[in-house]
Amino acid sequence: MRRRLIAGNWKMNASVDSVRTLLRALSEFQDDSKDVVVFPPAPYLALAVELTKQSQIGVGAQTCAAYESGAYTGEVAASMVHDIGARHVLVGHSERRSLFAENDDAVLAKTQQALAVGLTAYVCVGETLAQRQVGDEQAVVAQQLRRLVTELAPADWQHIVIAYEPVWAIGTGETATPAQAQAMHAFIRSQLQQVSAEVAERTPILYGGSVKAANAEELFSQPDIDGGLVGGASLDAQEFLAICRS
Ligand code: 13P
């Protein structure tokens, strides 16, 4: 049985005040059957770790370097994320892929860096609207998963979460229908069969793209949807808590 997992990606939105306010509100959340993780911008990670110590909220980074350490000005190593007490990291978010030219090689390297230091890697996949319009959505997602499926060891998958985020649904208010999301999640699970039946069965697959309290329940009730990766709505404590309770 897979646990429910709700993740909040704050993207490039935060201040010391907003981190304190949001995490004070979220810290009240208690439900042993679910995991809740927030992904603040890098400068606020240590503060977020400190503020969530007494709660069940986990903290993660929005990306990490593809390298271990050294002369990579501006980069944040996975080991540093782990060192300050965060235990999760997003890898290959579509905004990183499209705005910062992160390709599947970089996604694999970052995932490997994360796994090497004991972080859980949330690898994001998803097609654009143009790709869906020509019926390429499964081929695109299969390609994004291929290097992970072929190069990671089966044991690594204990620390991998897949997030399916159709690019056309991110920040647009347009959500994939529960049926569209379920179909892709089932397809992703079928791809993970190439690693093993156990990995296919156990790996959490989150849906992301305009998740709100109003649509979370229906999305999360699909058999292959294990929770959500929430962007905009995760910046509003009451809205995010309502999604966590879905
Ligand atoms: P929105 O929930 O704002 O559509 O963003 C989704 C997302 O990109 C989460 O990583």
pLDDT of residue 36: 98
Q: What tens digit of pLDDT does each residue of 180-214 get?
A: 999 999 999 999 999 999 999 999 999 999 999 99
The atom of ligand 1 lying closest to the CA of 93 is 10
Q: What tens digit of pLDDT does each residue of 141-169 get?
A: 999 999 999 999 999 999 999 999 999 99
Q: Which of 88, 93, 127, 137 is catalytic?
A: 93
Structural tokens at position 24: 């004070």
**Which of 6, 10, 11 to mutate to test ligand 1, by most ligand atoms within 8 A of the CB atom?**
11
Q: What percent of the chain has pLDDT over 70?
A: 100
H or E element, residue 12: none
Beta bridge partners of 162: 123, 205
Letter for the amino acid at 116?
Answer: A
Average pLDDT over residues 7-26: 98
> Please, is 165 exposed, middle or buried when counting C-beta atoms within 10 Å of its C-beta (0-12, 13-18, 19+)?
buried
pLDDT of residue 174: 87
1 has pLDDT over 90: no
**CATH number assigned to the domain covering 4-245:** 3.20.20.70
H or E element, residue 23: helix 16-26
Q: What tens digit of pLDDT does each residue of 111-140 get?
A: 999 999 999 999 999 999 999 999 999 999
Average pLDDT over residues 25-54: 96
Report the separation in Å between the CA atom of 77 and the middle of ligand 1, taken as the mean of its atom positions.
24
**46 to 63, 117, 194: CA distances (angstroms):** 15, 17, 38
Domain ranges of the chain: 4-245
**Which of 125, 127, 229 to mutate to test ligand 1, by most ligand atoms within 8 A of the CB atom?**
229
CA-closest candidate to residue 210, choices 193, 194, 186, 234: 234
The atom of ligand 1 lying closest to the CA of 212 is 2
pLDDT of residue 4: 97
Which residue's entry shows tokens 């069965």? 201
Is the CB of 228 within 6 Å of ligand 1?
Answer: no
Radius of gyration of the chain (CA): 17
CA-closest candidate to residue 169, choices 219, 107, 112: 219
